[in-house]
Structure formats: C-alpha cells, structure tokens
C-alpha cells in the first residue's frame, strides 16, 4: 500500500528470487537427508539377508534407540553377514519415503525404529506383501471391544515390557534412596510413559509399602522429551521435597534431571540405554531396553526363514529389558539390595509377580 | 523457605524468557516481526556450548553464543530488509534452519545427535537452589535487561528512532532517519539478546541438547504481545508465565491442576490481551511491513 506503484514490478521479481532461493534450500535439504554414509558395508555372502533400517528422529548417535538398533544390526552383520542399509530421515514425511525406498529396493527385512513408524509400516506392509517388516516399539492398537488388533501378517511388532524393568529400578530406588519419597520424571504425558511410571511405582511399593512416589511430567507435547531445562527444574523441586533418587523416562529432558542430581549431590536413574556417562557418580543405574537384542533377534529369524508377523514381547525373561549393574555402579548398590532385586526379577520371570502396565 | 525456593525457581525459569522477550520487544518496536526468537535462542545455546567447550571458559561461551545469535539475525535482516522477503516466512525459516544446522554440527563436532559433552558454566557444582542463582552473572544480566531496554527505547535518540521506524517509516525517512539502518541494528540486537537466553539455558545445563529451547522463544513472543510491546510490561509478563510454570511444577505432584491447563496459560493470556480485554493492545503500526 505504501510502496509506490513503480516498485510493484520490482517486488515481484524479488519474490521470484526468494522462491528461487527457497527452492535451492529445499533441494539442499532433501539432498542432505540422503547424504549420510550407508555404513556396514559388508561383502556379499551367499544368500545373505538384506536389511534396511530407518532411524527415528535423532538418528545415529542418539545414545538410545537408534544406537541400539545399529548395534544389533552390526552384530547380525558380523555374525552371519547380514547386509544392512541405514536411512536417517529428517522431519516428518521423509520417514515414510525412507521405508518405501527400502521396501521397493527388494530388501528382505525393513525395520522402522520407533513407535512413530507404526502407521507407515502397517500401510507399506499391505503394498509390499513379500517384504518382511519390523517395528521397534510398534504401537499395537486396540479395537472398540478391547481386543488387540494384530499387525499385518508380514509385520513383527517388537515390543518391550518397560514396566518390568521399571519395576526393578523402582525397588532399587526405594531400597537405596534412604527416604520415604522417591521421584519420577516423565517426558510427554502419554500412556506409553505411564507404563514406566506404573511399573516403577509397583516396584517401589513392593519393597516399601509406605513410600511415596512423586511423579511428574515435563509436558504434553513431544517437545517434553527434549527439554532439559524443564527436567532440571522438576528434579530440583523433587529433591528439595526430600526425594533422594529420581527415575526419568523423558529422553534428553532427563539430562536435566542428572544435572540437578549433580548440583544437589543426589541420584538419578537412566532409561533406555546405560546413561552412566552422562553424570558419572550420580547415576544409580539405568533401566535398559535391549533394542539391540530385539533387532538381532528379528534379523536372525529372517535369516533362518523363520520370520512370521505378530507381536514379540521382550521382557525380563527374554533379556529385552533390565537394569544396569556393572563396575561403575557396583559401589552404589549393596550386595543385599542386589540379591533382593535378583529375587524380584526371578519372581517376575516365573510369573509370581505381575507388573501393571498402566496407572 | 518454601517461598524462597518458589521465587528462586520462578527467576531461574524466567531468565531465558526475559532475554528473548527483550529481543522480541526491540525487533517488534522497529517493525520487524520477531518470529525467529526460538531460532536465535537455539543458535545461542549451541554457540555458547561450542565456545565453552573449545576454550573451557563460560565467558567465551557467552561471547560465541551472542555471536551465533547475531549471525542468525543477520540472515533474517538480509532477507527481510535487503531483499524485502516476507518477515513471517523468513522467521519460520530461521527457526527450522537453526534446528537443522545445530543438529548437523552437533553430529560433526561431537559425533552425537543427542547432546554435547559437559562444558563449563557459572557457579560451582556444590551449590544447589538459591545460591546457584545469585552466583550466576547471567541471572543478574537477565533481570537488568528489561529496565535497560525500557531506558533505551524511551529515553535515547536511538530508541526514538526505533519507535519511529516501527510506527511510520515513511515519516521517519522524510525526517532523515536511516530507516533500514535502524532496523538492522534492532534485528541484530534482538538476535544477540535472544541468544543470551539460549546461552543461559545451555550453560545452566552445562551442555547442548538437540532442540533444547523447546518452544521458549514462542512463549517469550507471547510475553511481548501480552506486555503490549512495552519492555517493562513484557518483563512482568515473563515473570508471570514463569510463576505459572513454577506453580505447576510445585502443584503437579499433588495433581491439583492438570498440566495441560498450565501449559496453555501463556497462550490464553496472549489471546485475551490481543482481543483487547485488558486495555487496548495496539502493535507498532508498521509491524511486518517493509517499505522502501
């Protein structure tokens, strides 16, 4: 409105320039998402299995799921020469494109790492019935009658019994904490994370009936998994209320929990992978999800031509979940506590204790 | 004691908001939509960690953090002031660009897509709570930012020019005010200020984590609008939002207020403010428009 009439032509050409620039940036972005080295280049061996893995956001180096899947695949490559290709998608819709690309290339097995791939895997499995698919943390849906809807026949849903591992670290927190209050910091307030909370609480109550669990969540959006500032504040307030040990299930938000543990000289419990190195001396243990075992397991099934779709549960019995006890944290966990945890673990494996998976 | 802890936590949460909102108020008063505060903060956080990591000094981290904010703001300024690109589109682009570039460089520098190694910060390791607060110079700087900005905007020649180019750039130009130059300074200043917010966050955590600002830039922008583009009121809005968050943290365990409710407070208040319920809310007249 304010611009003189003569400037109109100019502003249109500027717009074109801008769109041109945006186009170039977009092309660069797309190119960047394929630029990663393919890794795991193993010489072809006879009837080797071809495996394609699409990582969740964060990709290699997330010190969690993606790295776990990578380790499992590498193990398969070493053990029986599986040929593995990795794709690291960027934001949003690249994920589906990554899966589709691998499926179209005729891989024997395509793995999506993360529950976020659930819908894409279900869809692609129908389009490529001859390809086997697997989803780490695949979210199995429940129909309106409460019956579990099985995934398509060529999809393996790799699920973990996080509540069982959480149960054990809950018991650990209560036994070692030395106070009647133990803490929990969750990421996004969703049923997936409630599972961790439920198991943890049950574990605390199993060894200390009058203990109180202070459970808090960092938020209600996916950003709650990447907000260490929030995690630190939540943890500080819990420690100030007399909590000595906090278990987090909150992605990198939990790094803030460890930072708070460091400033307050208290303890944190890690999740998914061994997080000892994030705050040496302040990480009591970690509830580990053995994504590597699950990925290795499904690849070897394909290798042995024993793959079938369905739900695969990885719990304590299958060595799919567990807690860390090694030379780093041995000193923090007394032998009596260790024995108690192992007894609880045996009870869970034997089915004597049933751990709740929702609160 | 509880009150003291409450206040300390409110201030800790408010500091990033205060820096970013100061940047937002400065840019918007000059007529530039401050949609890229989030990107400046994230860039500042990353720059701070890079500087602190390679030199071992938190103060160098502050400098490199601010430098990153200024560089990102320069991109914004070139696009919107030199090439007259749409300010909102550019702002969103800066935010997306920063998420990508920081993740890329994180991988390159530390071989991790999740977080950097531990770097230096302010204050010792042993002091939690309120003591950690007073020993952090960025806290004091953050608290001083809004009054200082108010002084600059209302009491200096530069401030008068900022307001003039934000309200009526043609009139300012006809009086010999170099409109684009004033806006350049305002945009670069907003980048530097918002980056200080990110720097505080990163040095408080002693590390950078992917997308660690988690939407704080948008809450700061909400505070600017809720504060009707006045630095002091925007500062109070930051404290109000931080207070609400603290309240939520302290009460969440008791399940008194649903967390979803508290999360929406800043945005609801902003809508209320923009709707004109609490007095007239008039943005700078030339906000979002770039003229020659």
Mean pLDDT of residues grouped by 10 in chain B (292 residues)? Answer: 85 96 97 96 97 95 97 97 93 95 92 87 62 82 96 96 94 94 97 98 94 93 92 94 87 70 76 71 82 58
What integer best gives the mean pLDDT of chain A? 87
Chain B: closest CA distance from residue A224 (Å)? 8
Instruction: Provide the pLDDT for residue B289.
Output: 80
Residue B289: Cβ-neighbour burial (10 angstroms; 0-12, 13-18, 19+): middle
Instruction: Provide the pLDDT for residue B81.
Output: 93
pLDDT in tens, A245-265: 999 999 899 999 999 999 889
pLDDT in tens, A40-53: 444 444 578 999 99
Closest residue in B to A215 (Cα) is B253
Instruction: Provide the pLDDT for residue B251.
Output: 79
pLDDT in tens, A202-223: 999 999 999 999 999 998 888 8
Backbone phi, then psi, for B171, in 5-degree steps?
Answer: -65, -40
Interface of A with B in 14-43 (CB under 8 A): 14, 17-18, 22, 25, 29, 32
The DSSP letter of residue B82 is: I
Instruction: Provide the pLDDT for residue B275.
Output: 76
Instruction: Provide the pLDDT for residue A2.
Output: 46
Structural contact between residues A73 and A89, judged by C-beta atoms closer than 8 angstroms: no
Closest residue in A to B93 (Cα) is A22
Q: Compute the distance between CA of residue B6 and CA of residue B259 in angstroms, rounded to an integer.
A: 18
C-alpha of B263 from chain center: 18
Chain A: closest CA distance from residue B273 (Å)? 24
Instruction: Provide the pLDDT for residue A5.
Output: 43
Mean pLDDT value across residues A72-87: 92
Chain B: closest CA distance from residue A181 (Å)? 12
* CB proximity A339 to B under 8 Å: no
* CB proximity B85 to A under 8 Å: yes
Chain A: closest CA distance from residue B167 (Å)? 13
C-alpha of A195 from chain center: 13
Chain A: closest CA distance from residue B194 (Å)? 16
Domains of chain A listed by start with CATH number: 50-160+294-314 (3.40.50.2300), 162-289+325-349 (3.40.50.2300)
The secondary structure of chain A, three-state, reads CCCCCCHHHHHHHHHHHHHHHHHHHHHHHHHHCCCCCCCCCCCCCCCCCEEEEECCCCCCCCCCHHHHHHHHHHHHHHHHCCEEEEECCCCCCHHHHHHHHHHHCCCCEEEEECHHHHHHHHHHHHHCCCCEEEEECCCCCECCCCCECCCCCCEEEEEECHHHHHHHHHHHHHHHHCCCEEEEEEEECCHHHHHHHHHHHHHHHHHCCCCEEEEEEEECCHHHHCCHHHHHHHHHHHHHCCCCEEEEECCCHHHHHHHHHHHHCCEEEEEECCCHHHCCCCEEEEEEECHHHHHHHHHHHHHCCCCCCEEEEECCCCCCEEECCCCCCHHHCCHHHHHHHHHHHHHHHCCCCCCCCCC
Asked whether the beta carbons of residue B128 and residue A215 sit closer than 8 angstroms, the reply is no
**Which residues in chain A have their CB less than 8 angstroms from residue B214's CB?**
219, 223-224, 226-227, 229-230
* CB proximity B230 to A under 8 Å: no
Residue predicted with more confidence, B177 or A23: B177
| Confidence band of A4 (pLDDT split at 50, 70, 90) | very low
Interface of B with A in 118-137 (CB under 8 A): 125-129, 132
Does an H or E element contain B271, and which? helix B259-274
* CB proximity A280 to B under 8 Å: no
Least confident of A94-98, A273-277, A315-319: A94-98
Asked whether the beta carbons of residue B5 and residue A233 sit closer than 8 angstroms, the reply is no
Instruction: Provide the pLDDT for residue B233.
Output: 94
The closest CB to that of B209, out of A189, A255, A260, belongs to: A255
How many CA atoms lie within 13 Å of A8's alpha carbon, on the beta-carbon side?
Answer: 4
The closest CB to that of B113, out of A17, A60, A263, belongs to: A60
- All structural domains of chain B with their residue ranges: 2-274
CATH of B2-274, one of 1.10.3470, 2.60.40, 1.10.1760, 3.40.720: 1.10.3470
Output the six-digit token pair for A45. 């061996």
* Interface TM-score (ipTM) > 0.85: yes
Asked whether the beta carbons of residue A255 and residue B207 sit closer than 8 angstroms, the reply is yes
Interface size between A and B, measured as CB pairs under 8 A: 129
pLDDT in tens, B147-178: 999 999 999 999 999 999 999 999 999 999 99
pLDDT in tens, A288-325: 999 999 999 999 999 999 899 999 999 999 999 999 99
Asked whether the beta carbons of residue B128 and residue A214 sit closer than 8 angstroms, the reply is no
Does an H or E element contain B18, and which? helix B2-29
Structural contact between residues B122 and B135, judged by C-beta atoms closer than 8 angstroms: yes
Asked whether the beta carbons of residue B83 and residue A252 sit closer than 8 angstroms, the reply is no
Q: How far is CA B189 from CA B32, B47, B89, B185, in A?
A: 12, 16, 20, 6
Mean pLDDT value across residues A180-200: 93
The DSSP letter of residue B209 is: B
Mean pLDDT value across residues A72-101: 86
pTM of the model: 0.86
* CB proximity A11 to B under 8 Å: yes
Q: Compute the distance between CA of residue A259 and CA of residue A262 in angstroms, rounded to an integer.
A: 5
pLDDT of residue A57 exceeding 90, the answer is no
Chain B: closest CA distance from residue A122 (Å)? 28
């Amino acid at each position: 409105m304010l611009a003189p009439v003569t400037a109109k032509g100019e502003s249109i050409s500027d717009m074109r320039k801008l769109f041109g620039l945006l186009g170039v940036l977009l092309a660069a972005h797309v190119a960047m998402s394929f630029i990663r080295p393919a890794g795991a280049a193993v010489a072809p061996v006879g009837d080797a299995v071809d495996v394609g893995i699409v990582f969740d956001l964060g990709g290699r180096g997330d010190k969690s799921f993606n790295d776990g899947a990578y380790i499992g695949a590498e193990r398969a490559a070493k053990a029986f020469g599986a040929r593995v290709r990795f794709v690291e998608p960027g934001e949003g819709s690249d994920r589906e494109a990554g899966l589709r690309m691998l499926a179209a290339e005729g891989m024997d097995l395509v793995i999506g790492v993360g529950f976020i791939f659930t819908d894409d895997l279900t869809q692609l499995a129908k389009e490529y019935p001859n390809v086997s698919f697997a989803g780490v943390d695949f979210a199995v849906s429940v129909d309106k009658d409460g019956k579990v809807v099985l995934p398509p026949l060529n999809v393996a849903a790799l699920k973990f019994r996080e509540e069982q591992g959480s149960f054990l670290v809950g018991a650990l927190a209560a036994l070692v904490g030395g106070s009647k209050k133990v803490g929990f910091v969750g990421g996004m307030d969703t049923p997936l994370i409630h599972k961790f909370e439920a198991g943890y609480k049950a574990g605390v109550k199993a060894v200390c009936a009058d203990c109180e669990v202070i459970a808090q969540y960092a938020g209600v959006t996916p950003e709650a998994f990447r907000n260490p500032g929030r995690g630190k504040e939540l943890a500080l307030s819990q420690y100030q209320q007399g909590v000595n040990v906090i278990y987090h299930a909150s992605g990198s938000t939990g790094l803030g929990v460890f930072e708070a543990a460091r400033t307050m000289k208290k303890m944190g419990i890690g999740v998914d992978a061994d997080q000892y190195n994030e705050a040496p001396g302040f990480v009591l243990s970690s509830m580990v999800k053995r994504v590597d075992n699950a990925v290795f397991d499904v690849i070897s099934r394909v290798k042995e031509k024993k793959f079938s779709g369905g739900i695969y549960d990885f719990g304590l019995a299958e060595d799919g979940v567990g807690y860390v006890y090694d030379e780093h944290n041995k000193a923090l966990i007394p032998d009596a506590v260790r024995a108690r945890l192992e007894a609880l673990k045996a009870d869970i494996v034997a089915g004597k204790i049933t751990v709740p998976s929702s609160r | 004691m509880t009150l003291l802890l409450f206040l300390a936590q409110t201030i800790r949460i408010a500091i990033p908001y205060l820096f970013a909102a100061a940047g937002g108020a400065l840019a918007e008063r000059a007529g530039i939509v401050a949609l890229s505060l989030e990107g400046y903060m994230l860039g500042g956080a990353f720059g701070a960690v890079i500087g602190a990591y390679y030199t071992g000094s938190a103060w160098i981290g502050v400098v490199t953090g601010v430098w990153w904010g200024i560089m990102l703001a320069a991109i914004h300024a070139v696009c919107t002031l030199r090439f007259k690109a749409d300010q909102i589109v550019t702002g969103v682009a800066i935010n997306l660009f920063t998420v990508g570039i920081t993740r890329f460089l994180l991988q390159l520098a530390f071989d991790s897509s999740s977080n950097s190694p531990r770097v230096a910060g302010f204050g010792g390791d042993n002091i939690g709570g309120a003591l950690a607060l007073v020993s952090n110079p960025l806290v004091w700087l953050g608290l001083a930012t809004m009054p200082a900005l108010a002084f600059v905007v209302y009491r200096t020649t530069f401030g008068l020019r900022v307001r003039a180019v934000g309200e009526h750039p043609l009139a300012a130009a006809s009086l010999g005010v170099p409109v684009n130059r004033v806006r350049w300074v305002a945009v670069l200043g907003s980048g530097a200020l918002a980056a200080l917010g990110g720097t505080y966050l990163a040095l408080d955590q002693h590390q950078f984590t992917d997308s660690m600002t988690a939407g704080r830039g948008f809450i700061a922008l909400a505070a600017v609008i809720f504060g009707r583009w006045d630095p002091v009121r925007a500062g109070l809005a930051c404290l109000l939002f931080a207070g609400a968050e603290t309240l939520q943290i302290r009460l969440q365990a008791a399940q008194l207020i649903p967390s979803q409710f508290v999360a929406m407070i800043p945005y609801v208040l902003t809508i209320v403010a923009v709707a004109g319920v609490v007095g007239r809310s008039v943005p700078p007249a030339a906000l979002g428009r770039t003229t020659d």
